[in-house]
């Protein structure tokens, strides 16, 4: 059975304190790994798509990377507006990870 896990479950950072979120998956023949952010009461907002090991994508303070078993979302010098739940999703089986709740304190 395909599984997606994320760690940590929750993360509190001071503004400017860089860190990384992890998404580990056990799926056969990954066909895309997607990252989303979700604010309370809203639908997930698309961030990145990664298709092959070694691929990297960047957007503002975020950078996503992919290996054969996991993906990382690196947050550099975060700001309070980066506070949200970050979710990863495997492409072929629509399996979401449980998410990481990120809080960035001013």
Nearest distance from C-beta of residue 14 to another protein, angstroms: 27
Residue indicated by tokens 């975020």: 62
Q: Which CB, 17 or 38, lies closer to another protein?
A: 38
CB of 16 or CB of 98, closer to another protein: 98
Interacting residue ranges for another protein, rule: CB under 8 A? 31-32, 34, 36, 41-46, 49, 87, 89, 91-99
DSSP annotation of 82 reads: G
Whichever of 17 and 95 has its CB closer to another protein, that residue is: 95
């Amino acid at each position: 059975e395909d599984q997606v896990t994320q760690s940590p479950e929750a993360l509190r950072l001071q503004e400017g304190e860089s860190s990384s979120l992890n998404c580990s998956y056990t799926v056969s023949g990954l066909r895309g790994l997607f990252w989303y952010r979700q604010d309370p009461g809203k639908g997930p907002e698309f961030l990145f798509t990664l298709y092959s090991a070694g691929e990297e994508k960047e957007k503002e303070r975020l950078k996503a990377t992919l290996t054969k078993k996991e993906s990382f979302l690196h947050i550099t010098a975060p700001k309070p507006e980066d506070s949200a739940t970050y979710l990863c999703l495997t492409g072929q089986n629509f399996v979401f990870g449980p998410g990481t709740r990120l809080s960035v304190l001013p």
